[in-house]
Chains A and B, each alone.
Chain A
Amino acid sequence: MVNAFLAGTVVAVIAGAIGYFVVLRSSSFAAHALSHVGFAGATGAVLLGLSPIFGLLVFTVGSGVVIGAVGDRVRGRDVTIGIVLAWTLGLGVLFISLYTGYATEAYALLFGEILGISSLDVEVTAAVAVLTLLALGALYRPLLFASVDQELARAKGVPVLALSTAFMAVLALAVTDAVQVVGVLLIFALVVTPAAISIRLTSRPARAIAIAVGLSLAFTWIGLFIAFYSPHPVSFFITSLAFGTYLLVRVLQALRN
């Protein structure tokens, strides 16, 4: 349980932080795609006798770099991404069927099984999180600039394409971590929803990031706490808290207008 809280805390912080940029850059679909591609990597890794996190990391970072490097030159990009991710999910299903004794691992990968996380996994998760935070810190200003107005940033000498690639790679790291907690299919709950809420509450970037991190932590902690006393999956509680809060904020704002 302690491991779950440690890993959950660490993941919530980076998911909330990078989530702000994901929402700002309208890259939530790409983020979703990364986790699906990662699924094929994770299941493939297990098939090869390797740790699933390793496969997850390699595949998400690899596809992240490709998506970032292609930039936004390619129109209909979301269609291409969707087609590729559907296939990778199918690949993952194949890998599952090729490896016997898979059921719980597959479930954990898809929906998260943070309560069963090992100490080693916590360490790896924490290490990846630290790396992600450092990278995000280093990229902060030009990333914000390029996300707000790419044209202007480019004119001021910001290496927009390289930055976009680096961002996707860092996002891949964050997604790999987030998968530990909520699984491949539900990373939106930690990466996108908190930031989507905070962006509705404030227009100041630093504040929005802080609020997103706070919300992400709250959803994770409360979710874990409830799950401890309940037979139901953690990820259900986390996603429900996230969704519920988002709904509340939308309703309150609609009533106020």
Chain B
Amino acid sequence: MTPLASVPETVVEAVGLAVRYGSRTVWADAGFSIKRGSFTAILGPNGSGKSTLVRLLLGQLAPSAGELKVFGEPPKRGNHRIGYIPQGSAFDPDFTVRGRDFVGLGIDGHRWGVPLGGATAKRRRIDAAIEAVHAGAYADRPLGRLSGGEQQRLLLAHGLVGEPELLLMDEPLSHLDVRNQAAIVQVIARVVRERGLTVVLVAHDVNPLLAHIDGVLYVANGRTAIGTPAEVITSESLSAIYSAPVEVFTDRFGRIFVAGLEEEASHPHP
């Protein structure tokens, strides 16, 4: 573990960042920084470029303009300090690999050859990761037989077992029902707190996350805005982002509802 003095405070730093596909600008002039230990949600409508941001962070895409730094360096592929949980990872019913083996791949799946030695240490790390997400009861069953919520926990265990510093999750809640969403958010929040992880999570509904997030990075209409939920998800702020009248309502439970996003505004045409 790196000594505290040399641990940088800022995990992700973007200045003047832009991404363009040919003549279409996905978004431009994005500037934000994400602090170590924070929990940030990336929000915005479909097609706005949230997943593009994820790909940039993973080093799978180069920015068209501006600068992006992850852990103080330009993003690189296969960065093991990032635990990535991709979108839409629902395994089909006859997928027969055991959950536990899947988690194990998070430790050395990227290495060549056959595993030689270190089996005990590896097993302990896998056990710890599975324990952390409370998936012990079904970790030995084939992934295909598990429910969406159970699969998501094992995906999380897979992401955690490599002992990352940054957890990057692309729409982990999309396939889950409300109850499972709440459950998995609880698990994420607890694990993150216990391990001092930084989390960046892409979602299209902020409500399940409200109690836990420190910041929101809102991506829409070619623009980005970063701040606390109270700063960003307001009628003024969103109206500015969408260049259209948007109203934000909060109900008595503190849930946020956004009205006024017509098709044109939420799905930019290429």
A interface, CB within 8 angstroms of B: 24, 137-142, 144-145, 148-149, 151-158, 199-200, 203-205, 208
Q: Could you tell me if B158 and A152 are in contact, using CB atoms closer than 8 angstroms?
A: yes
Q: Could you tell me if A204 and B98 are in contact, using CB atoms closer than 8 angstroms?
A: yes
Tell me whether A148 and B105 are in contact in the complex, defined as CB-CB below 8 angstroms, given that A155-B84, A203-B141, A204-B98 are known contacts.
yes
B interface, CB within 8 angstroms of A: 58, 60, 77-80, 84, 86, 89, 96-98, 101-102, 105, 108-115, 140-143, 158
Q: Could you tell me if B112 and A156 are in contact, using CB atoms closer than 8 angstroms?
A: no
Residues of A within 8 A of B141 (CB): 203
Chain B residue with the shortest CB-CB distance to A151:
B86
Q: Could you tell me if A140 and B86 are in contact, using CB atoms closer than 8 angstroms?
A: no
Chain A nearest CB: distance from B90 CB in Å? 11
Tell me whether A157 and B110 are in contact in the complex, defined as CB-CB below 8 angstroms, given that A152-B89, A203-B97, A205-B97 are known contacts.
yes
Secondary structure at the B interface, as helix, strand, loop or mixed, is: loop
Give complex CA distance A140, B115 in Å: 9
Residues of B within 8 A of A204 (CB): 98, 101
Secondary structure at the A interface, as helix, strand, loop or mixed, is: helix
Q: Could you tell me if B77 and A157 are in contact, using CB atoms closer than 8 angstroms?
A: yes
Which residue of A145, A148, A208 contacts B110 across the interface (Cβ within 8 Å)? A145
Q: Could you tell me if A151 and B97 are in contact, using CB atoms closer than 8 angstroms?
A: no
Q: Could you tell me if A141 and B110 are in contact, using CB atoms closer than 8 angstroms?
A: yes
Which residue of B80, B84, B140 contacts A152 across the interface (Cβ within 8 Å)? B84
Most chain A CB atoms below 10 A, which of B102, B143, B158 = B102
Chain A nearest CB: distance from B201 CB in Å? 15
Chain A residue with the shortest CB-CB distance to B88:
A151
Q: Could you tell me if B105 and A140 are in contact, using CB atoms closer than 8 angstroms?
A: no
Tell me whether A155 and B112 are in contact in the complex, defined as CB-CB below 8 angstroms, given that A144-B105, A203-B98, A203-B101 are known contacts.
no
Residues of B within 8 A of A155 (CB): 58, 60, 77-78, 84, 86
Residues of A within 8 A of B143 (CB): 203
Chain B nearest CB: distance from A209 CB in Å? 11
Chain A nearest CB: distance from B107 CB in Å? 10
Residues of A within 8 A of B78 (CB): 155-158
Q: Could you tell me if B109 and A156 are in contact, using CB atoms closer than 8 angstroms?
A: yes
Tell me whether A148 and B113 are in contact in the complex, defined as CB-CB below 8 angstroms, given that A155-B60, A155-B78 are known contacts.
no
- Offer 18 A-B interface pairs, CB within 8 angstroms, sorted by A: A137-B113, A138-B112, A140-B113, A141-B105, A142-B109, A148-B97, A149-B105, A152-B86, A152-B158, A153-B109, A155-B77, A156-B109, A157-B110, A203-B143, A204-B98, A205-B97, A205-B101, A208-B96
